Amino acid sequence: MKGQIAYGTLAGTGSAINVPLGFSPSIIFIINQTDPGFFIWTADMADAEMLKLTDAPALTFPTSNGISLYAGSDTPGSQAAKGFTIGADTDMNGSSDVLTYIAIGEQD
């Protein structure tokens, strides 16, 4: 079995952001560098759920505005390629926040 990994940095918008990868991740890690927080989603979680650790400090399990798979297309490199969606949770995705992600999955 072969795996795939993708990582990157992007700016938060305060609204949902689709992140095209070209594969469907099994686990996603997001770090908010501006408003310190660490967010995890795994394939056995429902869409929009995540494990959330913020600088409060607080460890919570929100069930909305979290991280979801993005079905997209089978065209790697396309803005519509398979990947994931960063939800509008204000701790994770504030406007202009610097977000770093790591996504790991099996080869489709």
List pLDDT tens digits, range 2-27.
Answer: 899 999 999 999 999 999 998 999 99
Residue 77, pLDDT score: 64
| Residue 69: Cβ-neighbour burial (10 angstroms; 0-12, 13-18, 19+) | middle
pLDDT digits (tens, 9 = 90+) for 64-75: 999 999 988 776
Check pLDDT > 80 for residue 62. Answer: yes
**What pLDDT was estimated at residue 108?**
62
pTM: 0.91
Q: Which residue has the tokens 């869409």?
A: 47
Radius of gyration for the chain, computed over Cα atoms and rounded to the nearest angstrom: 13
Q: What range does the domain containing 74 cover?
A: 3-106
Q: Indicate the number of domains in the chain.
A: 1
Q: Is residue 72 left, alpha or beta, with left meaning phi > 0 and alpha meaning psi from -120 to 50?
A: left
Give the tokens for residue 37: 């927080």
